[in-house]
């Protein structure tokens, strides 16, 4: 493809993209296709001679759109939001053009340096303590990971390296494998599945502890578990606390967990994948109280801060535990300025990394903090609006305090009836929700996801819920 053709193709795509997003409300949120729908729609082999780009464009509606779940529809209320904004899309075009692999400073200095500064900007925006920020001049700093799952695993690996180092100083006779066999990590039984997975991938025990009646992991529960495990000869080394759980957007008690971790030399990682974006609003920062005690903190601007996937920001007070623990330094990756700026390949699992800081830079500049705050506040208001509609219908109950943009609710009826309600709702295809279950109580989760969502959309979603409930209860 030549530059002239590229310009025409790209212009047409931009028109298509804005048309798609601005009219997304008119599409059915969940597709109706069956598994295997796509293969018969395209040839069995790649073309020998190039296709025309006009034909590729035409195939988007024919082949792709019938199988798309429209995550940015105002009627999409499943999981948590995933971000989407025009500045981030444009930044990705530029990132695609530069197409560098920024594993070290010299591999593309702007890629590393913009990331360092953006993590400082964002850290300041959410009120992170200074010692997490590179601009403080201390050890701390931030990095963009692909996902929160990677951040949890990377922090676990850092914690593991730190504890092995500590134990070896005290007991030089112990081998690495003897120490690793005794390591134990903790999290709430309600933390995201990626935390359990980090334990599996990291080859260590991960205990899921019971949260309290309000679904918050408490300091005392952690303390008891640590004591038990120490008595059994194990070595506690890592805790993952969640701010905004996936099931119900609940907040572990950081103010209690932090001191327990600090006094036991345990690495505390805080997973605020969804809720973290809300901390740009001062009124929600009470939810991160106690963050000063953490060793690492992560949230996903690609969830709720209008930066398209992938952009998972992570800060560490002392990244040297990662950088030094996994430092393999072949000649072809060395450069003369090593040590003068971060070489992010040491902070992550893969070697390669995209120029993701561009998306953050464009979004932060082109929205400005005020508009981003307004966006978060609007979602929280819409959640409270939906909550008020649910509370106004005595057939329903709210099962968890609505703090941010998630409403957990159910019919005051059996799990089976609520399962039938969800099945009917998703089957009607106008709105899309997913359920969760806590202590055997099944409930529906309605998350405010799209940046296009207005009050009128919430009215439509509520009408859908009410009608589906009428049908289910009649049956």
Within 228-247, which residues bind ligand PLP (CB under 6 A)? 242, 244-246
Find out whether the peptide bond into 310 is cis, omega within 30 degrees of 0.
yes
Considering the complex, what minimum distance in angstroms separates the CB of residue 358 from ligand PLP?
Answer: 19
* C-beta contacts of 409-415 below 8 A and 24+ residues apart: 409/443, 409/444, 409/446, 410/441, 410/442, 410/443, 410/444, 411/469, 411/472, 411/473, 413/473, 415/440, 415/441, 415/442
Considering the complex, what minimum distance in angstroms separates the CB of residue 5 from ligand PLP?
Answer: 36
- Closest to ligand PLP by CB, 274 vs 347, is 274
For 252, the token pair is 């572990």
Considering the complex, what minimum distance in angstroms separates the CB of residue 192 from ligand PLP?
Answer: 3
Q: Compute CA distances 58 → 24, 51, 55, 461, whole Å.
A: 18, 12, 5, 32
- Closest to ligand PLP by CB, 159 vs 273, is 273
Site string for ligand PLP, 69-88 (x = CB under 6 A): -----------x--------
Question: What 8-state DSSP symbol labels residue 394?
Answer: T
- Closest to ligand PLP by CB, 261 vs 273, is 273
Considering the complex, what minimum distance in angstroms separates the CB of residue 65 from ligand PLP?
Answer: 24
Within 170-209, which residues bind ligand PLP (CB under 6 A)? 192, 194
- Closest to ligand PLP by CB, 221 vs 312, is 312
Within 249-288, which residues bind ligand PLP (CB under 6 A)? 271, 273-274
Considering the complex, what minimum distance in angstroms separates the CB of residue 188 from ligand PLP?
Answer: 10
- Closest to ligand PLP by CB, 148 vs 268, is 148
Q: Compute CA distances 36 → 39, 40, 62, 276, 325, whole Å.
A: 6, 8, 15, 38, 45
Contact status, residue 297 vs residue 319, Cβ threshold 8 Å = no
- Closest to ligand PLP by CB, 105 vs 304, is 304
Residue listed under structure tokens 């993209």 = 17
Selected range binding ligand PLP among 124-132, 147-155, 372-380, 450-458, rule: CB under 6 A = 147-155
Contact status, residue 323 vs residue 338, Cβ threshold 8 Å = no
Considering the complex, what minimum distance in angstroms separates the CB of residue 99 from ligand PLP?
Answer: 23
Considering the complex, what minimum distance in angstroms separates the CB of residue 278 from ligand PLP?
Answer: 13
- Closest to ligand PLP by CB, 17 vs 349, is 349
Binding-site member from 21, 83, 148, 408 for ligand PLP (CB under 6 A): 148
Q: Compute CA distances 88 → 83, 144, 348, whole Å.
A: 9, 15, 23
Burial of 264 (0-12, 13-18, 19+ CB in 10 A): middle
* Residue 147 contacts ligand PLP per CB under 6 A: yes
Binding-site member from 312, 313, 373, 450 for ligand PLP (CB under 6 A): 312
**C-alpha–C-alpha distance, residues 147 and 145, integer Å:** 6
For 119, the token pair is 């993590």
**C-alpha–C-alpha distance, residues 96 and 10, integer Å:** 13
Size of the site for ligand PLP (CB under 6 A): 15
Contact status, residue 9 vs residue 53, Cβ threshold 8 Å = yes
- Footprint of ligand PLP (CB under 6 A): 80, 147-149, 192, 194, 242, 244-246, 271, 273-274, 300, 312
């Amino acid at each position: 493809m030549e530059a002239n053709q590229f310009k025409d193709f790209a212009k047409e795509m931009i028109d298509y993209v804005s048309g798609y997003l601005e009219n997304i409300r008119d599409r059915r949120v969940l597709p109706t296709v069956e598994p295997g729908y796509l293969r018969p729609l395209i040839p069995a082999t790649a073309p020998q001679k190039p296709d025309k780009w006009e034909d590729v464009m035409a195939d988007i509606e024919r082949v792709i759109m019938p199988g798309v779940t429209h995550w940015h529809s105002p009627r999409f209320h499943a999981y948590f939001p995933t971000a989407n904004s025009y500045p981030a899309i444009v930044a990705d075009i530029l990132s695609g053009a530069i197409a560098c692999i920024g594993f070290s400073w010299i591999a593309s200095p702007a890629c590393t340096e913009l990331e360092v500064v953006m993590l400082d900007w964002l850290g300041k925006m959410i009120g992170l303590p200074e010692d997490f920020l590179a601009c403080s001049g201390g050890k701390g700093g931030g990095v963009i990971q692909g996902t929160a799952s990677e951040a949890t695993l990377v922090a676990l690996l850092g914690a593991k390296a730190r504890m092995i180092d500590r134990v070896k100083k005290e007991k030089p006779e112990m081998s690495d494998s003897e120490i690793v066999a005794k390591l134990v990590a903790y999290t709430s039984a309600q933390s995201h599945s990626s935390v359990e997975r980090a334990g599996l991938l990291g080859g260590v025990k991960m205990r899921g502890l019971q949260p309290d009646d309000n679904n918050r992991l408490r300091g005392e529960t952690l303390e008891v578990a640590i004591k038990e495990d120490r008595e059994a000869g194990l070595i506690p080394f890592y805790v993952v606390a969640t701010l905004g759980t996936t099931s119900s957007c609940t907040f572990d008690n950081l103010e209690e967990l932090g001191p327990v971790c600090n006094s036991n030399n345990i690495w505390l990682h805080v997973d605020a994948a969804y809720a973290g974006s809300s901390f740009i609003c001062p009124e929600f920062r009470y939810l991160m109280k106690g963050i000063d005690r953490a060793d690492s903190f992560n949230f996903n601007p690609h969830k709720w801060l209008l930066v398209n996937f992938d952009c998972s920001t992570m800060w560490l007070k002392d990244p040297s535990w990662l950088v030094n623990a996994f430092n393999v330094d072949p000649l072809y990756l060395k450069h003369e300025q090593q040590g003068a700026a971060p070489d992010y390949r040491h902070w992550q699992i893969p070697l390669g990394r995209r120029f993701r800081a561009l998306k953050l830079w464009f979004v932060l500049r082109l929205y400005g903090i005020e508009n981003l705050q307004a966006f978060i506040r609007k979602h929280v208001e819409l959640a409270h609006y939906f909550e008020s509609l649910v509370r106004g219908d005595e057939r329903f109950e709210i099962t968890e305090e609505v703090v941010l943009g998630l409403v957990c609710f159910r019919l005051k009826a059996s799990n089976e009836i609520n399962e039938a309600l969800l099945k009917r709702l998703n089957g009607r295809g106008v709105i899309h929700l997913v359920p969760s279950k806590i202590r055997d109580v099944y409930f529906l989760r309605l998350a405010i996801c799209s940046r296009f969502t207005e009050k009128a959309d919430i009215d439509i979603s509520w009408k859908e819920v009410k009608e589906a409930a009428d049908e289910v209860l009649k049956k």
